[in-house]
């Protein structure tokens, strides 16, 4: 799975914004606002990957977090991206 | 035609097919050597025609059959706006008014009343003038933010060849009462993003977003609910100059 569109992720201080760029800006009229963990997830989804690989990446980046905590951050965000039709297999 | 203009302190060479661009740029003509050159081809005009059709469809409004002379002016400005990114400048959709040596940019989706509000400023403050009524250029010069007049200024074609420091950006909404308040950039970011020209080229788009972030860190932002009472100008000015 990977993102359907190209995004640039902007650090806005205590939150992040993902803005479509290039030709995709005309296909997706909007932007995404998210926290730092979701921004990390989105960054991973720029390349083809799978949930287990992203989970492993987050586990390495946030070693103090439990598997449940990472799962609770990852699953809803992936579901939201699927719901918004922003992921492709 | 081949001629040079000075916009935002940058000299730009223009190679156009029709004379309309030259006539529109008459206040900005310069003899100075260009910092960069833009050329328009028939395919650029076709691109503008297709873009105007697809935008009209997306916005649910009628498609107009624009003359190629007009479409060329759009093509030229698109290329200029992209070129200016590399001089720390970007195009913002909004109405820029100047008073007492400071510039204020009012932005809002089309139809909210930017032009009407700007008109209230001109009526209330005799020394006020419009830098650009629709598409000013914002430029960083020595890390200060300036608003720059350009010939491309919407259907009213109101613009002044001037460069003034930006005091504040105000996002307008229609409201029952005139009420202005400061707002954090991150809260108003999606609306401001929608008013910035973002080229389709990925590198240029990322440059735009980088400038926009810097813009957000450098400028005061306000939101204003405004009605059609001319007193809206006083409320806006006092709100953005509250010490």
Half-sphere exposure of A89 (CA within 13 A, CB side): 0
Closest residue in chain A to residue B210, using alpha carbons only = A10
Q: Give the pairing of strands A2-3 and B137-141.
A: unpaired
Query: Interface pTM (ipTM) of the complex?
Result: 0.79
- Tell me if chain A has a CB within 8 Å of the CB of B217: no
Taking the CA of residue A68 and the nearest CA in chain B, the distance in Å comes to 31
CA angle B73, B103, B235 (to 5 degrees): 120
Query: From the list A8, A14, A17, which residue is nearest B206 (CB)?
Result: A8
The domain limits of chain A are 2-88
The answer to whether the Cβ–Cβ distance between B206 and A23 falls below 8 Å is no
pLDDT under 70 in chain A at which residues? none
Query: From the list A10, A15, A25, which residue is nearest B198 (CB)?
Result: A25
Q: What pLDDT is attached to residue B101? A: 97
- Residue B107 pLDDT class (50, 70, 90 cuts): very high
The answer to whether the Cβ–Cβ distance between B202 and A6 falls below 8 Å is yes
More confident: B122 or B63: B122
Residue range(s) of every CATH 3.90.228.20 domain in chain B: 89-240
- Tell me if chain A has a CB within 8 Å of the CB of B55: no
Query: What is the spatial distance between Cα B172 and Cα B227, in angstroms, rounded to a whole number?
Result: 10
Q: What is the pLDDT of residues B150-205, one digit of tens each?
A: 999 988 899 999 999 999 999 999 999 999 999 999 999 999 999 999 998 889 99
B98 three-class SS: strand
Q: What pLDDT is attached to residue B243? A: 62
The answer to whether the Cβ–Cβ distance between A19 and B201 falls below 8 Å is no
Q: What is the pLDDT of residues B125-148, one digit of tens each?
A: 999 999 999 999 999 999 999 999
Query: What is the spatial distance between Cα B114 and Cα B106, in angstroms, rounded to a whole number?
Result: 6
Q: Among 3.90.228.20, 3.90.1300.10, 3.20.20.140, 3.30.1540.20, what is the CATH number of B89-240? A: 3.90.228.20
A69 three-class SS: helix
Question: Closest Cα to residue A62, out of A34, A33, A36, A32?
Answer: A36
Q: Using the structure block, give the residue that is written with the tokens 């918004």.
A: A84
The continuous run of DSSP H or E covering B221 comes out as strand B220-226
């Amino acid at each position: 799975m990977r993102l359907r569109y190209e995004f640039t992720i902007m650090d806005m201080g205590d939150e992040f914004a993902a803005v479509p760029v290039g030709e995709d800006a005309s296909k997706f009229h909007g932007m995404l606002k998210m926290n730092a963990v979701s921004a990390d997830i989105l960054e991973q989804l720029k390349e083809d990957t799978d949930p287990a690989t992203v989970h492993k990446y987050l586990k390495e980046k946030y070693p103090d977090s439990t598997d449940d905590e990472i799962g609770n951050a990852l699953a809803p965000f992936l579901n939201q991206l699927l719901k918004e039709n922003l992921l492709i297999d | 035609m081949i001629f040079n203009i000075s916009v935002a302190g940058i000299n730009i060479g223009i190679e156009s097919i029709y004379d309309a661009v030259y006539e529109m740029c008459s206040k900005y003509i310069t003899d100075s050597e260009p910092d960069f050159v833009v050329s328009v081809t028939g395919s650029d005009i076709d691109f503008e025609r297709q873009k105007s059709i697809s935008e009209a469809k997306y916005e649910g409004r009628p498609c107009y059959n624009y003359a190629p002379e007009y479409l060329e002016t759009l093509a030229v400005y698109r290329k200029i706006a992209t070129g200016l990114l590399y001089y720390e400048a970007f195009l913002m959709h909004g109405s820029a008014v100047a008073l007492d040596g400071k510039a204020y940019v009012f932005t809002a989706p089309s139809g909210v009343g930017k032009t009407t509000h700007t008109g209230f400023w001109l009526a209330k403050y005799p020394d006020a003038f419009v830098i650009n009524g629709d598409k000013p250029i914002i430029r960083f010069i020595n890390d200060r933010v300036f608003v720059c007049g350009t010939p491309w200024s919407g259907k009213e074609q109101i613009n002044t060849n001037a460069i003034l420091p930006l005091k504040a950006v105000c996002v307008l909404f229609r409201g029952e009462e005139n009420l202005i308040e400061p707002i954090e950039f991150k809260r108003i970011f999606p609306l401001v993003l929608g008013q910035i020209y973002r080229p389709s080229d990925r590198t240029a788009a990322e440059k735009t977003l980088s400038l926009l972030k810097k813009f957000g860190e450098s400028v005061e932002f306000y939101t204003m609910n405004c009605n059609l009472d001319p007193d809206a100008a006083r409320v806006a000015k006092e709100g953005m100059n509250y010490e």
